């Protein structure tokens, strides 16, 4: 569980061919929709070819990596005219990233950077003689890290993973959640619970986007409005406005 996206410099130390084979085998062992096996891989460890690829990547990335794995995909329909190529290569990439770290190396998933409007991926395809029916969708640098991977700030598992159902404490602000039951008395009793739940979710999202921590009632702070706005919770307020109403309603600190 210690994989991180590494964007720093790499040591000049070469990656053994056997390790590169192990990494690619891990990628090819990933599941694919209806076993269509839409993902293919090209490992580049020849310094001259590697430099040609690095020269076409602008802005530059992984300039010091001693090896690189290029991920290819094909559009092959799998089931009811549906193609799962994106899921296929994503599973393969994650398998390889885990194998890379397990072998003591570092890497980073570069996809958007090379598939953007400037189509760096097409330039790399030319260098690697990739046929037209394949798309080059990702590059993975491989090497020993010169620095330490940086741990990004992550939400707690309680905010993103649950057992048996979606939680009923829905207003997720930074410090605490407001329970739906505290809001119900201020809502029209003509709204079924399921609609109230969805409306409160929308209200919390609106509130989080429109106010900062010094204004959000879920964080226990105050606004300059009076709590007399609380009775305005009714069917006359569309869901899109409830975020601002929640903010006014929580002004006195006694309302939920």
Whether residues 65 and 24 share a domain: the answer is yes
Tell me if 151 is assigned to some domain. Answer: no
pTM greater than the 0.75 cutoff: no
* pLDDT for res 248: 43
CA distance 9 to 145: 6
Whether residues 112 and 162 share a domain: the answer is no
Tell me if 84 is assigned to some domain. Answer: yes
- The DSSP call for residue 13 is P
Task: Provide φ and ψ at 68, rounded to 5°.
Answer: -150, 140
Q: How many CA atoms lie within 13 A of 11 on its CB side?
A: 12
Tell me if 8 is assigned to some domain. Answer: no
Whether residues 192 and 86 share a domain: the answer is no
In whole angstroms, how far apart are CA 225 and each of 77, 113, 183, 219, 256?
57, 46, 18, 16, 15
CA distance 171 to 218: 8
To which residue do tokens 């210690």 refer?
A: 2
End position of a domain, from candidates 114, 142, 170? 142
Residue among 151, 158, 194 at smallest CA distance from 176: 158
Whether residues 107 and 194 share a domain: the answer is no
Q: Locate 218 and state its tokens.
A: 């879920």
Whether residues 47 and 71 share a domain: the answer is yes
Total tally of structural domains belonging to the chain: 2
Whether residues 132 and 45 share a domain: the answer is yes
pLDDT in tens, the chain (256 residues): 788 999 999 999 999 999 999 999 999 999 999 999 999 999 999 999 999 999 999 999 999 999 999 999 999 999 888 999 999 999 999 999 999 999 999 999 999 999 999 999 999 999 999 999 999 999 999 999 998 888 888 899 988 999 999 986 544 444 444 544 455 555 544 444 444 444 444 444 444 444 433 344 444 444 434 334 334 443 333 333 444 444 444 444 444 3
- The DSSP call for residue 111 is -
Whether residues 134 and 192 share a domain: the answer is no
Q: 116: helix, coil or strand?
A: coil
In whole angstroms, how far apart are CA 112 and each of 30, 118, 119, 128, 132?
22, 11, 10, 19, 20
Whether residues 22 and 47 share a domain: the answer is yes
State the residue range of the domain holding 83: 17-142
CA distance 8 to 147: 7
Whether residues 245 and 218 share a domain: the answer is yes
Whether residues 29 and 125 share a domain: the answer is yes
Q: Residue 81: which CATH number?
A: 3.40.109.10
Tell me if 105 is assigned to some domain. Answer: yes
Long-range CB contacts (within 8 A, 24+) of 111-116 = 111/137, 111/138, 113/57, 113/61, 114/57, 114/138, 114/139
CA distance 119 to 100: 26
């Amino acid at each position: 569980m210690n994989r991180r996206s590494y964007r720093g410099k790499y040591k000049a130390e070469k990656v053994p061919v056997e390790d590169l084979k192990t990494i690619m085998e891990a990628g090819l062992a990933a599941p694919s929709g209806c076993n269509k096996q839409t993902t293919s891989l090209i490992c580049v460890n020849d310094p001259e070819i590697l430099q040609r690829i690095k020269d076409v990547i602008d802005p530059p990335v992984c300039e010091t990596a001693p090896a690189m794995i290029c991920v290819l995909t094909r559009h092959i329909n799998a089931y009811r005219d549906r193609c799962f190529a994106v899921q296929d290569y994503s599973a393969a990439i994650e398998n390889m990233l885990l194998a890379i770290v397990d072998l003591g190396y570092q890497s980073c998933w570069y996809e958007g950077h090379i598939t953007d409007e400037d189509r760096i991926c097409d330039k790399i395809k030319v260098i690697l003689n990739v046929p037209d029916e394949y798309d080059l969708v990702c590059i993975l640098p491989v090497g020993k890290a010169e620095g330490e991977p940086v741990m990004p700030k992550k939400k707690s598992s309680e905010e993103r993973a649950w057992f048996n159902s979606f939680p009923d404490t829905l207003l997720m602000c930074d410090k605490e959640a407001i329970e739906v039951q505290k809001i119900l008395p201020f809502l029209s009793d003509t709204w079924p619970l399921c609609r109230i739940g969805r409306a409160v979710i929308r209200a919390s999202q609106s509130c989080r986007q429109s106010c900062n921590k010094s204004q959000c009632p879920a964080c226990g702070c105050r606004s300059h409005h009076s709590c007399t706005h609380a009775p305005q919770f009714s069917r006359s307020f569309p869901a899109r406005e409830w975020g601002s109403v929640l903010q006014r309603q929580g002004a006195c600190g006694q309302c939920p």
